Amino acid sequence: MTLNPLIPLGYVILLGVLLAVLAALSELLSARKLGAARLALLVSLRITGVTAVVLLLLNPSRVETFALHGDKPMVAFLLDASRSMATGDYGKEPAGRAVSRLDGGRKLVEYAVKAVPGAFSVRAAMFASGDGLFPFDAVLDDARTARTGIAAALLQLAAEHPSGLLAAFVVTDGIETADGDLDAAASSARLAGFPLYPVLTGGDVFPPN
């Protein structure tokens, strides 16, 4: 927690003291007219008000620190390569050919990787049937793409980067179908200190994974 005063700190302290003195004088003048219960309520309200004004002027803020991967914080992009991602409802090319979810997601990740500022390092990988991550340019086969294993991919990512990730983006068209524990995977990501950002892709076609 750090303080970023809206006005010089000395003025904040002076204003707080003046408000406290004025509140105390007001209580002394009101003590004879009010009962004990009403006086106690009035005192608590004024203390709360003075405290709120001082805190507002002090402008406290929380500073989060991130562990670095090498010399740079890392951003990860994970692309779902399961069988349903072959569905051609991502859009169409100028020539009219349907673009699959996988090709559309791949282009999206490639664009995002290029857009990441040079101050960050990047990892791009694919996942599918619950056997974790594999290279972004890997050759796909039916066995590898049979199901959607989001949990296994996240668990591997958290294990390989226990303190070095700034964020992870997961490009997918569906839900976990490889019997993985998404709650455990999300907990691992949370313990590793990086947020997860799902990026949904595809149209309204619902093919099996």
Residues 130 and 29 in one domain: no
Q: Is residue 191 part of a domain?
A: yes
Residues 95 and 185 in one domain: yes
Q: Give the percent of the chain with pLDDT over 70.
A: 84
Is residue 202 very low, low, confident or very high in pLDDT (cuts 50, 70, 90)? Answer: confident
Average pLDDT of the segment spanning 185-194: 89
Domains in the chain, number: 2
Residues 194 and 120 in one domain: yes
Look at 97 and 155; give whichever has higher pLDDT: 155
160 near 78, Cβ under 8 Å?
A: no
Residues 89 and 173 in one domain: yes
Q: Is residue 135 part of a domain?
A: yes
* Helix or strand (DSSP H, E) at 175: none
Q: State the DSSP code for 8.
A: -
Structural domain of 23? 2-61
Residues 83 and 54 in one domain: no
Residues 84 and 24 in one domain: no
Q: Is residue 67 part of a domain?
A: no
Residues 49 and 106 in one domain: no
| pLDDT exceeds 80 at position 146 | no
Q: Is residue 194 part of a domain?
A: yes
List residues bridging with 73 in a β-sheet: none
Q: Give the percent of the chain with pLDDT over 90.
A: 27
Bridge-based pairing of strands 74-80 and 60-61 is: unpaired
Residues 114 and 164 in one domain: yes
Average pLDDT of the segment spanning 31-38: 66
Residues 50 and 88 in one domain: no
Distance CA 188, CA 193 (A): 9
CATH at 130: 3.40.50.410
Bridge-based pairing of strands 74-80 and 165-172 is: parallel
Distance CA 179, CA 6 (A): 52
Burial 165-175 (b: 16+ CB within 10 A, else e): bbbbbbbbbbe
Residues 26 and 99 in one domain: no
Residues 104 and 30 in one domain: no
- Is the full-model pTM beyond 0.75? no
Residues 43 and 139 in one domain: no
